[in-house]
Structures are given as C-alpha cells and as structure tokens.
Amino acid sequence: MTLPGVVHETEPFFLEGSTGPLYACLHAPVGPSVGRAWVVAPPYGHESLQFHRALRLLADLLADAGCPVLRFDYHGTGDSSGDARGALLDRWFTDTAEMIDELRRRTGVADVGLIGLRLGGAVATRVAAARPDVVRLVLWDPVFDGRAHLAELRALHETMLGYAHVIPDATGSRDEVLGYPLTPALAADIEGIDVVRNITSRPADHVLLVETHEGVPQEPLRRHLGSFRCQLANARLSTPQLWEWVEDFGRVHVPRKVLDAIVRWAGEGASRGLAPGSVPGA
C-alpha cells in the first residue's frame, strides 16, 4: 500500500508476543517484491536511540529495493511492553524469532534474513544459528565478546560522568549505563556473550560483516565465521563519529555509505517480480 502524498510510510502495530505486546513497524516494498524480506534486530540502550534514524533509513532503502522490512523493539525496550529493568537476552531471542514468523505471515515471503546491529548482532547470530530457515545475516559491528562490550559501556559511562552536567545519585548504587538500566541480570546475560565459543555451527549461508567501529576489531569473529562453510562478505567502513556518546540528540549520525553497502549486499541475486514464497537460488 502506498499513501498518496507520502514518501516511505510504515505500518506500526503491536504483536502479541510470548513476552508481551511488542511494538513493530512494517515497511512494505516499493513496487514489486523481490521475494526477500528482512527483520532488523536493534541495539540496546543509548545505541538504540542513536541508531534509530539510521535503521529507519536502512529499512526505507531496502523497501525501495523491493524488500519488506520489519523493525521492532525488544521486550522492555522502546514502545514494547515491559520495563527495561526486566530486560533479558533470552526474551529478546524469543522476540526476534517471533518477528521472523510474523514478517513471513504478513508478507508471504519465505526468504527472511536478519540484520543485527551491536547487541542486536549477538541476538541475530544466535537466532540465525538456531533457525536453518534464516539463510542471510547482516552483522553490523556486532557484540561478539560480552565482557569487552560491558567494559566499553562502563568506560563510556564514566567518561560521561566526568564531563556532563550530572550529579550521580547519592547512594551510588544504581545499575545504569548512559541513560539506561543495566541490571545485574542483564549484565550477566551480556557478559555471557561469547560468539566465538558459543556459536558452533554455521549461523547462515550468507553473512555480511560490517565493521565501522575501530575500537572494537571484529577479527576474531571474522576468523570464526570464516571457519564455517558460509559465504562471508566483509565491509570495512571506518566511521568513528558513530561511536561517541552524544548528549545532544540533535547530532545523530546517519552513515549513508554503510547503509548503501548493506542494501547492495542484501539485494544481490534478488530480482523484482518473484512470487511470494519463492527463494532465489533455492
């Protein structure tokens, strides 16, 4: 459906997921579908806010290329039900898997891939590894080492405390990082992320690894993914300004060259006019 006088409309809805109502936005393809669809697994915390605009634009570009796209918020985040203090990775795996099924149900497209950014990359990798029906996976600076990710977040938080106009709570006991809760349970979940150790089978047939964060080299993950018999593509597009915490929410970066690289790869081998349910190359 295309609304007259509107560019890039979306269809928002709540999915009654098993963790509770989940907020999602469906981007319908512009013109005929290419028979390939994508679910976006978002990052958490301040990154979810900083990258919302970029992921929205990515969805628009993929829709322009004929791909339906579903963006959503995990349980306890964004508009979805639950409180961030109850956020847990296991719930997010469930949410992501249910979004894949929902996108299939709504579009009739069988070929559904996953795009995961940062913590969403860890979520997407595990979901893809558990679901043979996910054959395409885009990992954008994914968190593959949870301990390192936590250390990075806590260092950024300390830096923020040093220069922002904030006075920490007198009790000093709050579990938080850059505006978002980091409960002991969620911290333990994140700490347990070790993709190199825990993902022991090919997560998808086709994988694109996008590296823009020089502070978090993806070499170990690249080597690990390379050990599987999958078609691994690599896009290194250093964009350091993406990874600075910004207090001023008017200064959100949208890395167009990164988005274009993902859209190019995501559309490879697909062509418009494929019937719903068909899988190119299958």
Partner 1 sequence: MREEAVRFGSLGCTVGVVTDAVLGGGARADLVRDDTVPLAAAPPERPAFLFLNAGVTHHVGPNELYVKLARALAREGFPSLRFDYSGLGDSGRRADAMPAVESVALETREAMDFLQKSRGVRSFVPIGICSGAINAFTAARSDPRVVGAVLVNAQMHLHGPDPALAEALHARAMSRHAWRIALKSSFRSKNWKKALGGKLTPGRIASMLVGGPVRAVAGRLKGGGGGDGPPAPDPRALLRELSDRGVHLYHLYCEGDEGLDYFHTVLGKGVDEVARGERSTYEVIAGANHVFTLLWSQDELVKRVCAWAATLPRPAPAGATA
CB of 125 to partner 1, least distance (A): 25
Rounded CA-CA distance 259/54 in Å is 8
CB of 5 to partner 1, least distance (A): 5
CB of 24 to partner 1, least distance (A): 8
Q: Is 236 helix (H, G, I), strand (E, B) or coil?
A: strand
Evaluate the CA torsion angle 53, 54, 55, 60 in order and state its sign: positive
Evaluate the CA torsion angle 196, 199, 205, 207 in order and state its sign: negative
5 vs 281, which CB is nearer to partner 1? Answer: 5
110 vs 160, which CB is nearer to partner 1? Answer: 160
Tell me if 190 sits within 8 A of 150, measured CB to CB. yes
* Residue (of 126, 119, 115) closest to 143 by Cα position: 119
CB of 39 to partner 1, least distance (A): 16
244 vs 247, which CB is nearer to partner 1? Answer: 247
133 vs 158, which CB is nearer to partner 1? Answer: 158
Q: Is 70 helix (H, G, I), strand (E, B) or coil?
A: strand
Question: What is the contact surface with partner 1 in residues (CB under 8 A)?
Answer: 3-14, 21, 23, 25, 46, 49, 52-53, 56, 77-79, 81, 84, 160, 162-169, 174, 176, 178-181, 247-250, 252
Token readout for 193 is 């992320």
